[in-house]
Amino acid sequence: MRLTALPRSAAEAFASLLYPAHCAHCSTPVDSQEFLCGGCLEKAKRIEPPFCDTCSQPFDGAIDGIFTCANCAQRQFHFDCAVSAYRSRGMVRNLIHRFKYQHEYRLRHPLADWLAESLNDNRILARPFDFYVPVPLHPVRIREREFNQAAVLADLLEKRSGKPVLDCLRRVRYTTTQTRFDRNERMENLRNAFELRKNTGVQGKHLLLIDDVLTTGSTVDECSRVLREAGAASIRVMTVARG
C-alpha cells in the first residue's frame, strides 16, 4: 500500500494555516513564510532608467542624465518626487488588486518588500526624512475594504526601518471612483477631500507620503498640497508601483 499523504503534526498543520506554502501568484510550492516563488519574483516588472525624475514614468529610448516627462513639464506638483521600483503591470497589478479589493491581507508582505526597495532610490537617500505619512481612506471605504492599504504598508515600513508613521491626514470627503475621469475632473473631484488631523504638526518636517499605486498623481498631489500648506519642509511620495 502506498501512502499518498503522511499525517502532519498539529504544529505543521497550524503553520500551514498561518503561512501559505504555495506561491500567491502561480501556486508553485514555496518554503513556509515565502509568498512568491523565485520565478514570479523575477517576473515583477522593475522600473529601469531612463525614467522621469519627478514621477518615475519610464521612457522608451536612450536619454542620458536627468529627464522630466512631458506631463511633469506642464504641471506643478506639490510633492518633490514620486518614487516606485515597479510598474503596475501583470502580477504586480494583480497582487495589489487582490490585496485591496479581495481582502487578501497576507499579500501586504510581498507588497511591502517591493515598496521598501524604494528606500534605496537616490531621490529618497538624498535627504533624511522624519515620518511616513499614509494616504488616508474615507471611513466608509475602510468599512468596505476592512483596512486602509496605505496605512498597512506604512506600518510595515515603520517596523522594518524604525522610522515612525505620522497618521496626520484624514479624508473628509467621500469621492466617487476616479477611473472614468480625465485629469481636470479628477482634480475637481479631489478638491478639499483631505484635511490635517487636529493636534498633528508637520511644520518643518520632511515627509514620505505612502500609497499603493501612482497613476496620474492627483491623489498624492492633493495630499501634498495640504501638507505643504501646513508647513512641511519636503514631501516625497513612495508607492509600490507606478501605473
Report the interface residues with Zn ion, using CB under 5 A: 23, 25-26, 28, 37, 40, 52, 54-55, 57, 69, 72
- Nearest to Zn ion of 111, 169 (CB atom): 111
- Nearest to Zn ion of 69, 213 (CB atom): 69
- Nearest to Zn ion of 155, 211 (CB atom): 211
Least distance in angstroms from the C-beta of 106 to Zn ion:
15
- Which residues, other chains included, contact 184 with Cβ-Cβ below 8 Å and sequence gap of 6+? none
- Nearest to Zn ion of 77, 129 (CB atom): 77
- Nearest to Zn ion of 35, 131 (CB atom): 35
Least distance in angstroms from the C-beta of 188 to Zn ion:
22
Least distance in angstroms from the C-beta of 92 to Zn ion:
13
Give which of 138, 148, 219 is closest to 227, Cα–Cα. Answer: 219
Q: In whole angstroms, give the CA distance from residue 115 to residue 86.
A: 9
Least distance in angstroms from the C-beta of 27 to Zn ion:
7
Backbone angles phi, psi at 131, to 5 degrees: -145, 150
Q: In whole angstroms, give the CA distance from residue 156 to residue 108.
A: 8
- Nearest to Zn ion of 23, 150 (CB atom): 23
Least distance in angstroms from the C-beta of 55 to Zn ion:
3
Least distance in angstroms from the C-beta of 40 to Zn ion:
3
Q: In whole angstroms, give the CA distance from residue 69 to residue 51.
A: 8
